[in-house]
């Protein structure tokens, strides 16, 4: 391979990889010096002259002239007779510069030089890609999808391969080869082979921030500032904004007239719901705004816990709005504010509830303390939680959490059953019967004889038996049961009537005995 052909191939590769002249010159010189060292053992006495414009290259060998019998190193020295063949005027002590033919290195050496040159070009290209895209971290790029894989999507941008991992995708997006894709450069790293890997993202909050900058001039100019963004990509996001000009409404500037500005961002993000709220340095106000669309009734903050917690009370009809579908609203609000938010339903004044301390006999002091620490001061605040939620927030073990919920729920069920149970008969009605009539006696009332007639049979039936016969209507039940069912039995044979009709009987009984 001639030197011109070799250099032409070098120049062609350099142009394809967009290598500048200085870098190309340095690479060519390094490659040929490596060839020289391999053949001669050193390259100190060699000069390389390269013209990147026309591809000309010269290798000049410089040697010191010595006496014919004094030659010690043929690489650095040349005999006088050999020097005179070049020029008759040379003398001992002078230097001779001669050009070396590249073809003299051999075909293998030339091919090795070409491979070394290509490798150097690749190394420079890798470093250039790494530096260029490191400067683009946090910026939006637009590329063409050229391959979709199970775990990633490959995008071409300026002839560079970008990687969109599955974890950085919006799950609602559908990617097809040839489509244009917009994303933000998230990270640039090197793999095992020192190859740069450019990671892009559509799920990063920075991507949403850059989209707002493109759509909202006030943000791009710095008049409105985005303080915080939290997202669950493809589902919902919350953006806290602050205006540096009191004349400008930050929320209105982001939304735009009829929502035209924010709709452009929403469409790019796969119809992701975006809540824009005004930022506040007051944590109470920020928490209230972060729970939108719910309107908290009260907010209580405990900064002594790690992480700090906030107890938020909302109206009963707004609990679902505060929590959101699948808890998404409260999760985003917690991330936005930095507080672990616990939402509680507002309890009406006439609604019955029990202080958690009333269960001191059922729960240990440590359990009660853990319940109070998460804001559960009453029983109904506890039963509104699931077992998993109670375990997560309080740190209770599963068995303990189940015991707490079952005990409290049983308490409320007992109260409800007691409220719905029928009231027993008054003690004044049942007492006389139980005193005079033994529980084991059973005396059905004769259908043919009225109660008055039964009471008048003094010789065959005592008064107590007459009373017992008057009460158990048509059922053959013990007297104790008749006493408990005194009120229902009043339709046929009221106990009070039987007793009142039996009251005159003692006088007749006395006359019979006297006779």
Averaged pLDDT, 417-440: 43
Rounded CA separation 28/108 (Å): 17
Which domains are assigned to the chain? Answer: 3-124 (3.30.1480), 136-203 (2.40.50.140), 291-342 (3.30.300.20), 356-420 (1.10.150), 427-514 (no CATH)
pLDDT at 364 over 80: yes
Rounded CA separation 186/165 (Å): 11
The upper half-sphere exposure of residue 209, i.e. CA atoms within 13 Å in the direction of its Cβ, equals: 18
Which tens digits make up the pLDDT trace of 49-70? 887 777 678 888 888 888 888 8
> Is residue 140 within a helix (H) or strand (E), and if so which, with residue range?
strand 140-148
Averaged pLDDT, 217-230: 96
Which tens digits make up the pLDDT trace of 298-321? 999 999 888 899 999 998 889 889
Q: Which has the higher per-residue pLDDT, 506 or 234?
A: 234
Rounded CA separation 231/336 (Å): 9
Which tens digits make up the pLDDT trace of 184-208? 999 999 988 788 999 999 999 999 9
For 406-412, which contacts have Cβ atoms below 8 Å and span 24 or more sequence positions? 407/359, 407/362, 407/363, 408/359, 408/379, 408/382, 408/383, 409/383, 411/354, 411/359, 411/379, 412/379, 412/380, 412/383
pLDDT band at residue 6, thresholds of 50, 70 and 90? low
Residues present in the chain in total: 515
| Those residues with Cβ within 8 angstroms of residue 359's Cβ, 6 or more apart along the chain or in another chain | 368, 379, 407, 408, 411
Provide the pLDDT for residue 176.
94
Provide the pLDDT for residue 416.
53
Strands of 298-302's sheet in order across: 298-302, 309-314, 340-345
DSSP 56-98: EEEEEEEEEEE-GGG---TTTEEEHHHHHHH-TT--TT-EEEE
Provide the pLDDT for residue 185.
97
Provide the pLDDT for residue 309.
93
Averaged pLDDT, 25-48: 86
Provide the pLDDT for residue 452.
36
Q: Position of tokens 């390259």?
A: 43
């Amino acid at each position: 391979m001639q030197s011109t052909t070799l250099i032409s191939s070098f120049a062609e590769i350099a142009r394809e990889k967009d290598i500048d002249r200085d870098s190309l010159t340095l690479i060519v010189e390094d490659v040929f010096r490596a060839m020289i060292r391999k053949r001669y053992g050193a390259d100190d006495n060699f000069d390389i002259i390269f013209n990147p414009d026309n591809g000309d290259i010269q290798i000049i060998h410089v040697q010191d002239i010595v006496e014919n019998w004094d030659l010690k190193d043929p690489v650095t020295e040349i005999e006088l007779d050999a020097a005179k063949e070049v020029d008759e005027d040379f003398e001992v002590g002078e230097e001779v510069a001669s050009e070396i033919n590249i073809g003299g290195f051999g075909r293998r050496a030339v091919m090795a030089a070409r491979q070394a040159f290509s490798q150097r070009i690749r190394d420079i290209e890798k470093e250039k890609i790494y530096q260029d895209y490191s400067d683009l971290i946090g910026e939006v790029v637009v590329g063409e999808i050229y391959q979709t894989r199970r775990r990633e999507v490959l995008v071409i941008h300026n002839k560079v391969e970008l990687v969109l991992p599955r974890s950085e995708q919006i799950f609602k997006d559908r990617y097809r080869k040839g489509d244009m894709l917009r994303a933000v450069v998230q990270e640039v790293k090197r793999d095992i082979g020192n190859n740069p890997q450019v990671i892009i993202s559509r799920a990063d909050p920075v991507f949403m921030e850059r989209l707002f900058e493109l759509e909202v001039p006030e943000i791009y100019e710095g008049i409105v500032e985005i303080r915080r963004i939290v997202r669950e990509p493809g589902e919902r996001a919350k953006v806290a904004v602050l205006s540096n000009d009191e004349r400008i409404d930050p929320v209105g500037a982001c939304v735009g007239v009829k929502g035209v500005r924010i709709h452009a961002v929403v469409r790019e993000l796969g119809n992701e719901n975006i809540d824009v709220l005004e930022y506040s340095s007051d944590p109470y106000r920020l928490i209230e705004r972060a729970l939108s669309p719910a309107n908290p009734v009260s907010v209580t903050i405990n900064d002594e816990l790690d992480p700090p917690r906030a107890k938020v009370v909302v109206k009963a009809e707004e609990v679902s709005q505060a929590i959101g579908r699948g808890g998404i609203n409260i999760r985003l609000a917690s991330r936005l504010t930095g507080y672990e938010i616990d939402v509680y339903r507002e309890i009406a004044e006439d609604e019955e509830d029990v202080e958690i301390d009333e269960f001191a006999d059922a729960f240990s002091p440590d359990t009660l303390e853990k319940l109070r620490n998460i804001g559960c001061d009453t029983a109904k605040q506890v039963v509104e939680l699931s077992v998993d939620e109670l375990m997560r927030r309080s740190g209770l073990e599963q068995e303990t959490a189940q015991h707490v919920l079952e005990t409290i729920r049983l308490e409320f069920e007992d109260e409800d059953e007691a409220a719905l149970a029928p009231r027993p008969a008054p003690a004044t009605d049942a007492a006389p019967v139980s005193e005079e009539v033994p529980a084991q006696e059973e005396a059905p009332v004769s259908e043919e004889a009225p109660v008055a007639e039964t009471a008048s049979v003094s010789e065959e039936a005592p008064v107590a038996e007459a009373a017992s016969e008057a009460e158990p209507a048509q059922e053959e039940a013990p007297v104790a049961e008749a006493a408990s069912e005194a009120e229902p039995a009043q339709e046929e044979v009221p106990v009070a009537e039987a007793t009142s009709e039996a009251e005159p009987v003692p006088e007749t009984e006395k006359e019979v005995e006297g006779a």
